[in-house]
């Protein structure tokens, strides 16, 4: 690793995890990064992908892919400040969790420190939205106090859909227990609300079902002063899927439905001119979607 060029906080000096903010009308969306991994062989996530196909979409380089056809992915949460309400979307993997994926297992990321340096204490979060309940979207909801998992955002309502609660419970037992360590403690503490996938949350925040990746997957529309943003969740994982919307991601529960959802949501994003915030997009995760024949293209903001 190169020597630091200045004496800033090393977290902020690393451009890959630095705080990024975008305005949506009078609302502000901030990315808080847990981790960004570069140099991933694309087949690791997309069985139909090849390095040649990646570099064939030259607009992906260098923000989302490298010239050798490897790809980058980020795990990040978005914090929305709208109408004096602070909303956290998809709080990442978390620390100290027993996970089957080695790069998520028993980690010690400075995520809460990064949140604090972006101006957010855990107590300030009033609402936690989960696009779905995979391990990388619920982790920071709890942290370990002795041997017990306890809520982190103790002043927040945490939203769930029944379909994804069921799916998450049914997926337990393969060496990790996301429900037990990251969701049950929220219910036990009385901080959970089960909502419909199309709920209007008020404050210009509206959920839209975007199933396929998981049965109850949803995306979040943000509207303020006539401007719109869309937080994707995992209906797509990487900007290459704008150009290759039929590429399924390995964890897509229903690949056929996920493809239909991707095309529908991409068309809506292009048509509305929304600022799209890609939950796993690296380096420049926000941008606009433009139509490119029967496919799309992503222009980072
Ligand atoms: Zn997922
Ligand atoms: Zn994910």
Digitized pLDDT (tens) for each residue of the chain, 301 residues in all: 333 334 444 444 577 778 899 999 999 999 999 999 999 999 999 999 999 999 999 999 999 999 999 999 999 999 999 999 999 999 999 999 999 999 999 999 999 999 999 999 999 999 999 999 999 999 999 999 999 999 999 999 999 999 999 999 998 877 899 999 999 999 999 999 999 999 999 999 999 999 999 999 999 999 999 999 999 999 999 999 999 999 999 999 999 999 999 999 999 999 999 999 999 999 999 999 999 999 999 999 9
Q: Which ligand is the nearest neighbour of the Cα of 214? A: 1
pTM: 0.94
Distance between Cα 138 and ligand 2 center (Å):
10
DSSP string, the chain: -PPPSSSS-HHHHSTTT--EEEEETTEEEEEEEEEEEEEE-GGGT-TT--HHHHHHSGGGTTTTB-TTS-EEEEEEEEEEEETTEEEEE---S-SS---SSTTTTT----HHHHHHHTT--GGG--EEE-S--SGGGTGGGEEEETTEEEES-TT-EEEE-HHHHHHHHHH--SS--HIIIIIHHHHHTT-EEE--TT-EEETTEEEEE--SSSTT-EEEEEEETTEEEEE-GGG-SSTHHHH-TT---TT-SSHHHHHHHHHHHHHHHHHHTPEEE-TT--SS-EEEEEEETTEEEEEE-
- Cα–ligand 1 centroid distance for 65 (angstroms): 20
If you measure from the C-alpha of residue 143 to the centroid of ligand 1, how many angstroms do you get, rounded to a whole number? 20
């Amino acid at each position: 690793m190169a020597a630091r060029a200045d004496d800033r906080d090393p977290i902020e000096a690393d451009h890959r995890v630095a705080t990024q903010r975008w305005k949506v009308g009078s609302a502000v969306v901030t990315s808080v990064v847990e981790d960004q991994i570069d140099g991933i062989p694309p087949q690791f996530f997309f069985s139909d992908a090849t390095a040649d196909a990646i570099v064939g979409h030259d607009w992906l380089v260098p923000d989302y892919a490298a010239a050798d056809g490897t790809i980058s992915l980020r795990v990040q949460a978005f914090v929305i400040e709208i109408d004096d309400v602070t909303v956290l979307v998809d709080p990442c993997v978390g620390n100290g969790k027993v996970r089957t994926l080695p790069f998520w297992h028993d980690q010690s990321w400075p995520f809460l420190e990064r949140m604090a340096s972006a101006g957010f204490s855990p107590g300030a979060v009033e609402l936690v939205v989960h696009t779905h309940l995979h391990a990388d979207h619920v982790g920071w909801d709890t942290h370990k106090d002795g041997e017990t998992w306890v809520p982190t955002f103790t002043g927040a309502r945490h939203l769930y859909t029944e379909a994804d609660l069921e799916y998450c419970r049914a997926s337990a037992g393969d060496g990790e227990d996301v429900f037990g360590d990251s969701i049950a403690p929220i219910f036990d503490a009385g901080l959970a609300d089960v909502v419909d996938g199309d709920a209007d949350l008020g404050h210009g925040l509206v959920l839209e079902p975007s199933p396929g990746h998981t049965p109850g997957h949803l995306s979040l529309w943000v509207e303020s002063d006539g401007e719109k943003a869309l937080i994707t969740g995992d209906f797509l994982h990487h900007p290459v899927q704008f150009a290759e919307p039929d590429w399924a991601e390995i964890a897509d529960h229903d690949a056929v439905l996920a493809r239909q959802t991707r095309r529908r949501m991409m068309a809506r994003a292009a048509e509305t001119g929304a600022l799209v915030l890609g939950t796993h997009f690296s380096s420049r995760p926000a941008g606009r979607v433009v139509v490119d024949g029967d496919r799309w293209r992503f222009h980072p903001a």
